[in-house]
Amino acid sequence: MNSIIGIDIGGTHTDIVHMHHGKLIASLKHLNTDAVEDDLCDVLTSLLSAHPRISKSVDAIHIGSTFALNALLKGHSLSQIGVIRLAGHEPITLPPGYLLPSHIRDHVVKDYATVQGGYECDGRVITHFQEEEIVCALRYFLSIGVTSIAVCGVFSSINPDQEIAVRRIIQEHTGNKLHVSLSHEVGSMGFMERENTTILNAALYELTKKHFAGLKKRFKEIGFHCPLFYTDNYGSLITDEVAINYPIRTLLSGPSNSLRGGIELTQMEEGIIVDIGGTSTDIGKVKNGQMTRSSAKTSIGNISLNMPHADILSLPIGGGSVLEMNDTSFKVTSESVGKNLLECSQSFGGKTLTLCDLAIAAGSIEIEGASKILPESVAVDGLQAILEMILSECRKVKGEEEHLPILLVGGGAALFRGLSSDVIILDQDEIMVANAIGAAMASPTYRIDRVIDQDDPDIIAILKKEAINHIQEQHQISSDKIRLLEKQQYSLSYSGGKQVRFTAIYGW
Amino acid sequence: MFSLDMLHHLSAGMAFLGSGGGGDPSLRQAMARYHCEQFGMPEIISADQLQDDDIIVPLAFFGAPNIGQERIASGKELPALLHHITCYYGKKPKAIMPAEIGGGNGLTPMLIASELGYPILNGDLIGRAFPKLHMAIPHLLGINATPAFVADIFGRVTRFDNLSPEELEKAARKHVITCGSSAAIACYIMTGKQARTSIAKGTLTQAFEIGKALSANRLQSIITQYGGRYCLQGVITHIQHYNQDGFLHGRVTICSENGEDAYLHFQNEFMHAEGSDGKIISTSPDIITLMDSDHHSVITTDQLRFGLCVDVVTLPAPNIWYIEEARSMVAYHPIKEEGDVR
């Protein structure tokens, strides 16, 4: 790919960049309105009017979107869903969605049906799957106004066949009208968390489709005929079709895009990237030019999920963080003034003491119209203490690899300029649009997460072929470019050593 | 005695007493909460309230803990056990109790007590978590582990008769594989008279007190109250796993503030803590607990992460574990390291 447009839809701004052979050609920032489609079209039109020759040469548009995350946190306009549990032992110990926040549990999950099926850890079925039960459940769901269905089967990561059969049956009976989210496609081991992940995906589908399904057409009208991609939870590319069907996969694309942007801007092979924004700081580790990933449980707005994601540690520290002052020391509170920085900060005549005020008083940054409200030495000491807090979190992320360099990026990085020789702070203006650059530079991957028999000599080759075929089909990339990025085997203590959980990521 | 919003204290305290093992109680806590929301809180009774000929049933889930995270309990297991036990003895048991206070199993009786109207006896068979069925206080005091009852997810019950605790451990472990590697068990079923002298008493209260103190960040008060010891603070700098006999074994290295390394060996539970010079810091049967220094939460052996800042704390196990016969049963034996498997 030679010429890419990267767009990052953030909470307040939509950023756009045009990258040519990895070099930044043009960039723009756009203040968001309430209509995400219009913002996207506006920002593209603005770019086009500034650089009229772009559209003909663009190979693809990559979008990083926090739309799903914000929709979930707000909880409005989510679909009414039905849950099908493939669990022949008919568990009544916990109902679907029990661990979700009440606004989702009570208003999104209309009802559920437990049906025969599911697998044991050794691959046997718990009970045999029965097609009539699915038809029956479907009829019931339709009668109560369900518009999207989540399916979660026990050990579907060992064998997804039953879940796939459920989708086929529902689509046959509804003529593809009802959307079906399958748990093995969105989450990993751990039934309740995977079921939650599937429920949220089903809840987000219609809203995502409403806003994003027509985009390709509108982009064409503006003059962009290229394919459209989105970035996912670990900063990889997914097609627009996948992004619309699996909105949950885009939930965490914001922080992973900024990390990817940091990697691209610095060509970092190994190290720690710290993205300091207005309200939060994201810390991630880079290995072999890639960000590290995790399948461990993750928590978003108090929702416990188990989908694979970039391994990022987020701290509630940013340029707009509100500080409490005790004598000459400062405490960072969990509050932030966010986009109202210039109105609220004391340096600009406001009433709130922010991290930004410290940086102005310390002389790390200069902003027109700002006054220094503290003695320089006090401010420098305060900033240093806060930087030390961030660095101590970085040391946790480093683990044993103490030699790794620490790089500060993002709009808030400059606040800490000149304070410590332990960190590198980039001087480029590109830092401000690192997210969009990250989206532009994202590449496709395919993730395998299966329980396999160690004695089966062919299985890994089969899975590899599946991964390569998938990437080739969706992204038109020649197979010799696709390589193994990451591989892990976990022993499963119950299986007597024969079965292992195998995860691998292929990409380029 | 306990209310619904105290469940998380109870659960945190049980994790603490798990010595790093016994599984993550969070799923079990959710199940207990759901049960109690529907049927109310259970009555908690003390061993002194029992009649001599009362029947007391210790309950636990056993097998591979990660199975229960995926194939969650059906809810048929425990009622089936209690039904069969009632038929077998010809009378309804007086109370149920956790077989093991440490980890997720501490809450197991709360998944059924209120619905079926059983009080829960304040105590357990171990006073902490141990990985094998024969590692139990009643065994040390000569109480039979059998007849023992095992129920699978469909509520199908198998009875084991005339087996020593070690034999039951082998037989039940073999049987549980046919149940998909997780099942519910009732063993060391005893009389009220036996229960007064043969269990770790008051451990539900202990777990609750610990959990409450943790939530208020009063680690030191737990140490003072239960005669424990604060060992060290440090950062996890290395984690090694090796697999043997289907149990999770390994070693975690903690670099303390003064730059010295300490090693924690685990075999499901944290079994042994030593300095880099080989000097023993604490060893089984001591309860060795790892705390996340920043979040004041317990870290189990499957939640270990590089770079975590941790406190190592030990509490004594119930006294009986320190007699020679008991010590040798649960002592730490180093195993041959087979290198990292993950």
Mutant choice from B31, B37, B61, B72 vs A, greatest count of A C-beta within 10 A = B72
Which residues of B are less than 8 Å from A488 in CB distance?
342
Task: Read off the pTM.
Answer: 0.86
Mutant choice from A93, A112, A162 vs B, greatest count of B C-beta within 10 A = A93
pLDDT at B21: 85
pLDDT at B94: 97
pLDDT at B176: 93
Whether A53 and chain B come into contact, CB under 8 Å, resolves to no
Question: B286: exposed, middle or buried (C-beta count within 10 Å: 0-12, 13-18, 19+)?
Answer: buried
Give the model confidence (pLDDT) of A265-323 as tens digits. Answer: 888 888 998 888 777 788 888 888 878 877 666 766 667 777 777 788 878 788 888 89
The pLDDT of A18-32, averaged and rounded, is 86
Please identify among residues 276-295 of chain A the ones whose CB lies closer than 8 Å to any CB of chain B: none
Q: Given a cut of 60, is residue A355 above it in pLDDT?
A: yes
Write the DSSP symbol of residue A248: G
Least confident of A107-116, A200-209, A286-295, A372-381: A286-295
The pLDDT of A383-410, averaged and rounded, is 84
pLDDT at A315: 80
Least CA distance to B236: which residue of chain A? A399
Whether B335 and chain A come into contact, CB under 8 Å, resolves to no
Whether A396 and chain B come into contact, CB under 8 Å, resolves to yes
pLDDT at A302: 65
Q: Given a cut of 50, is residue A169 above it in pLDDT?
A: yes
pLDDT at B210: 95
Which residues of B are less than 8 Å from A93 in CB distance?
31, 34-35, 72-75, 111
Cβ within 8 Å, pair B75-A93 = yes
Mutant choice from A89, A127, A184 vs B, greatest count of B C-beta within 10 A = A89
What residues of chain B score a pLDDT lower than 50?
339-342
pLDDT at A492: 63
Total beta-carbon pairs less than 8 A apart between chain A and chain B: 111
Which residues of A are less than 8 Å from B306 in CB distance?
396, 399-400
pLDDT at A494: 53
Give the model confidence (pLDDT) of A420-450 as tens digits. Answer: 888 888 767 777 788 899 999 888 888 787 7
Q: Given a cut of 90, is residue A103 above it in pLDDT?
A: no
Give the model confidence (pLDDT) of A466-488 as tens digits. Answer: 888 888 887 777 777 787 877 77
Cβ within 8 Å, pair A89-B74 = yes
Least CA distance to B156: which residue of chain A? A89
Cβ within 8 Å, pair A126-B153 = yes
Average pLDDT taken over every residue of chain A? 85
The pLDDT of A94-112, averaged and rounded, is 89
Q: How far apart are CA B324 and CA A479, in angstroms?
A: 65
Least CA distance to A155: which residue of chain B? B70
Which residues of B are less than 8 Å from A191 in CB distance?
69-72
Secondary structure, 3-state, chain B: CCCHHHHHHHHHHHHHHCCCCCCCCHHHHHHHHHHHHHHCCCCEECHHHCCCCCEEEEEEEEECHHHHHHCCCCCCHHHHHHHHHHHHHCCCCCEEEECCCCHHHHHHHHHCHHHHCCCEECEECCCCCCCCCCCCHHHHCCCCCCCEEEECCCCCEEEECCCCHHHHHHHHHHHHHHCCCEEEEECCCEEHHHHHHCCEECHHHHHHHHHHHHHCCCHHHHHHHCCCEEEEEEEEEEEEEEEECCEEEEEEEEEECCCCEEEEEEECEEEEEEECCCCEEEECCCEEEEEECCCCEECCCCCCCCCCEEEEEEECCCHHHHCHHHHHHHCCCCCCCCCCCC
Write the DSSP symbol of residue A52: T
Least CA distance to B35: which residue of chain A? A93
Whether A155 and chain B come into contact, CB under 8 Å, resolves to yes
Least CA distance to B74: which residue of chain A? A91
CA of B53, closest CA in chain A: separation in Å?
Answer: 32
CA of A441, closest CA in chain B: separation in Å?
Answer: 29
Q: How far apart are CA B69 and CA B61, in angstroms?
A: 12
Mutant choice from B11, B27, B70, B306 vs A, greatest count of A C-beta within 10 A = B70
Q: How far apart are CA A455 and CA A20, in angstroms?
A: 47
Cβ within 8 Å, pair B243-A155 = no
Cβ within 8 Å, pair A89-B71 = yes
Which residues of B are less than 8 Å from A400 in CB distance?
237-238, 306
Whether B233 and chain A come into contact, CB under 8 Å, resolves to no
The pLDDT of A395-400, averaged and rounded, is 75
* β-sheet with A483-491: strand ranges across: A445-453, A499-507, A483-491
Q: How far apart are CA B311 and CA B274, in angstroms?
A: 14
Least CA distance to A492: which residue of chain B? B246
